[in-house]
Amino acid sequence: MAGVPLTNLTPNLLVSKLCFGTMTFGEQNSLSQSFNLLDKAFDSGINFFDSAEMYPVPQRAETQGQSEEYFGRWLRERNIPRDHVVFATKVSGPSGQMTWIRGGPTRLDSRNITEAIDNSLLRSQTDYIDLYQVHWPDRYVPMFGEIDYDPARQFNSVSFDEQLDALGRAVDAGKIRYIGVSNETPYGVMKFLQAAEKNPTYPRIVSIQNSYNLLCRNFDSGLAECCHLESVRLLAYSPLAMGVLSGKYLLSHGGADDARLNLFKGRYSEGESRYNLSNPTIRDATKAYISIAERYGIHPVSLAIAFVLRHPLVSSAIFGATKLWQLEEVVNACDVKLTPEIIAHIDEIHSRFPNPCS
């Protein structure tokens, strides 16, 4: 194995093609387990680590912020040079549920963004954040399994200018280096870019973190054109469709008890709504993709990761792992190259089951 390759997220920022997501730290993974996983990832050539102020998941007041805290402790206790890693984290958008985060939060206004950045820096105990992302929009958009847009659900949102102004002041202060968005739409991407074009004091978004995998290729319908023409890179999260594409949930026993969708059954609405294997279309599509892996002697994890990494707009695939052997499976996928014949089989299945997950 040659190790995880690097690529340019921006002309001045090299990131590994795999990004290790930390959202299990503090819930499924203890501090020592998290350190072991981070050690293995770093030793494998991964320099890119993603977190969020609301992590770990499922989110709750007692554990909020521990993912950032664990990562920061690892940096300090392992004496990792700060410029050897790329640290990304996110500010939570409006939420009526997470009342323990700034009372809601109800808005992504200047105060909330500034407070969130400062709190993330305190928890991680680092001087700066390499990539700071808006976790989800400060406006109504269908997300996390929703498909149809309902105009009646639109609410009074914070302007793109106010958000960029707050982020720009954090860049000027040296608190963050680059900014990105997550769970965004073509409209949102273009509005952020247009605002930055009109006001040169605003930072320009460099990335979008959206779901992309064999079961969910919605990025290619609209967003891909925006990102290609405007030089915005995709950070693809859920490349394994929350573990579904590994095939573990199709086993006769339904997967291990500590597998995420089993462990948090009834408490993890995003996973259960998006990747619900009781939906026959999702189940049949998953079986079909796994049959391709079996036909060509490829591990299902390698097939899924290699498919995401071959996308020309993907800078990095963001994955999670709670065990060392899971991390190794994902890292090994970097050595897999999909042939035109395999891609033809993938596209045939996609034509039969187009984006069963949103």
pLDDT band at 332 (very low <50, low <70, confident <90, very high): very high
**What is the fold, at CATH topology level, of the domain defined by 6-243+304-341?**
TIM Barrel (3.20.20)
pLDDT at 99 over 60: yes
Cα angle, residue 55 at apex, residues 50 and 61 outer, rounded to 5°:
165
Integer angstrom CA distances of residue 125 from 16, 75, 82, 152: 23, 9, 11, 42
Tell whether the model's pLDDT for residue 269 goes beyond 80: no
Per-residue pLDDT, averaged over 93-97, amounts to: 84
User: How far is the first Cα of the chain from the last one, in angstroms, to the nearest whole number?
Assistant: 33
Quick one: DSSP state of residue 203?
P
Q: Which of 55, 237, 249, 289 is catalytic?
A: 55
The residues near 342 (Cβ < 8 Å, ≥ 6 apart) are: 292, 296, 298, 303
Tokens of 48: 């890119």
Is residue 1 pLDDT above 60, yes or no? no
Rounded to 5°, the CA angle 1-300-276 comes to: 140
pLDDT on residue 2: 58
Of 43, 36, 35, 55, the closest CA to residue 18 belongs to: 43
Looking at residue 358, what is its pLDDT? 80
| Helix-, strand-, coil-residue percentages of the chain, each rounded to 5 | 40, 15, 40
- Which residue is associated with the tokens 């954090």? 170
Q: Are 308 and 239 in contact (CB under 8 A)?
A: yes
Spatial distance between the Cα atoms of 253 and 256, rounded to a whole number of angstroms? 8
Measure the CA–CA gap between 121 and 17, rounded to whole angstroms. Answer: 25
Pairing of strands 129-134, 233-237: unpaired
Tens-place pLDDT, residues 148-166: 888 888 888 999 999 999 9
The verdict on whether 70 is a catalytic residue reads no
Q: Which of 12, 72, 85 is nearest to 42 (CA)?
A: 85
Quick one: pLDDT at residue 268?
A: 67
Beta-carbon neighbour count of residue 100 at 10 Å?
A: 14
The average confidence (pLDDT) of the chain is 94
